[in-house]
């Protein structure tokens, strides 16, 4: 695809790729953190530092358009409440129960990677975004690549509870609604402001559940010692999730989505499994069969088709 004469679009696409690159490591980091930390404890430890970090950045960089922190108008509170409730709060809750209800993590990851399929529907209905046949065609090709990449070579295809399937699609729907709220947020709010308020609101939902479900007594666990190598690894993983996955990636994604729209931005979620596969090859020596490489090619081709048509429309 050509981005000549369209520097803004190139910057947005670069931001999307970097955010997906960061998020592609999140699953690995979460897996290592959960070896020591209970789920809600890990979530609270992840988002409390991220909210504080964004608050500090916003106060220090008051005059920078991307990183300044604006005061929220009360009339916009419903929008931020919906966004904060949908993601991270509702998405993470539904995702956890979906993994529990589905027999295969591979099936779960595949279902949870379908946000590009739902994005055009939500974008057209709630935002009146124009969705073309080329957008749909590119998304379908790319999603087919995701299925090939994640399912090829797997021997566990038993779905398990069909409630798990419904929960997975509900989680994806929550994430897409959050994307719609990003798009609807007045442009007077910087990307950092949007992410800061939504994560702060999510914490208000998470903390009471953490208190009653796991509670402060979790810190009495004997594993909480700095001599424990797994605990140190968990802290590094939570640090990565806080600074990079919860702050940098979300701000970049929010910035890009407001430039290119919900359908275009969420299409890039299909590239996350590609980056994850690359990490597994480089650091864990995983071997990819031919079918998985075909899936990677389909994902990239689908993204090119989806982005190419949008450029053409702007020149007509």
For the stretch 37-55, pLDDT in tens is 888 888 899 999 999 999 9
Look at residue 315 and tell me whether its pLDDT is greater than 50. Answer: no
Q: What would the two tokens of residue 187 be?
A: 């442009």
- Per-residue pLDDT tens over the stretch 232-255: 888 999 999 999 999 999 999 999
Under the banding of pLDDT at 50, 70 and 90, the label for residue 293 is confident
Confidence of residue 199 (pLDDT cuts 50, 70, 90): very high
Q: Average pLDDT for residues 1-21, to the nearest whole number?
A: 78
pTM: 0.86
DSSP 45-77: HHHHHHHHHHHHHHHH-TT-TTT--PPPPGGGH
Write b or e for each residue in 280-293: b if 16 or more Cβ atoms lie within 10 A of its Cβ, otherwise e.
Answer: eeeeeeeebeeebe
Which three-class secondary structure state does DSSP give residue 160? strand
pLDDT, the chain, mean: 83
Stretch 300-314: mean pLDDT: 65
Report the DSSP beta bridge partners of residue 102. Answer: 160
**Pair 304, 138: CB distance under 8 Å:** yes
Nearest partner of 109 among 94, 98, 121, judged by Cα: 98
């Amino acid at each position: 695809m050509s981005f000549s004469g369209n520097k803004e679009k190139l910057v947005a696409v670069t931001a999307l790729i970097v955010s997906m690159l960061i998020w592609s490591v999140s699953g690995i980091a979460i897996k290592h953190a959960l070896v020591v930390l209970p789920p809600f404890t890990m979530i609270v430890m992840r988002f409390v530092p991220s909210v504080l970090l964004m608050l500090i950045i916003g106060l220090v960089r008051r005059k920078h358009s991307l990183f300044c922190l604006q005061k929220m108008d009360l009339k916009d509170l419903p929008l931020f409440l919906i966004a904060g409730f949908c993601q991270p709060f509702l998405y993470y809750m539904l995702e956890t129960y979906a993994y529990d209800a589905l027999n295969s993590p591979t099936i779960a990851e595949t279902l949870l990677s379908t946000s590009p399929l739902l994005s055009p529907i939500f974008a057209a209905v709630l935002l009146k975004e124009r969705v073309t046949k080329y957008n749909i065609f590119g998304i379908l090709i790319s999603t087919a690549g995701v299925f090939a990449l994640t399912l090829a070579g797997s021997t566990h295809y038993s779905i398990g509870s069909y409630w798990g399937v419904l929960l997975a699609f509900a989680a994806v729907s929550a994430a897409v609604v959050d994307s719609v709220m990003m798009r609807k947020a007045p442009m007077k709010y910087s990307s950092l402001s949007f992410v800061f308020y939504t994560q702060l609101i999510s914490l208000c939902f998470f903390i009471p559940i953490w208190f009653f479900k796991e509670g402060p007594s979790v810190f009495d666990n004997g594993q909480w010692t700095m001599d424990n190598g797994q605990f140190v690894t968990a802290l590094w993983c939570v640090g990565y999730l806080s600074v990079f996955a919860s702050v940098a990636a979300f701000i970049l994604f929010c910035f890009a989505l407001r430039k290119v729209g919900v359908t275009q931005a969420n299409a890039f979620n299909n590239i996350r499994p590609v980056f994850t596969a690359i990490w597994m090859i480089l650091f864990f020596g995983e071997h990819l069969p031919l079918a998985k490489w075909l899936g990677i090619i389909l994902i990239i081709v689908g993204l090119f088709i989806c982005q190419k048509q949008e450029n053409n429309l702007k020149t007509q």
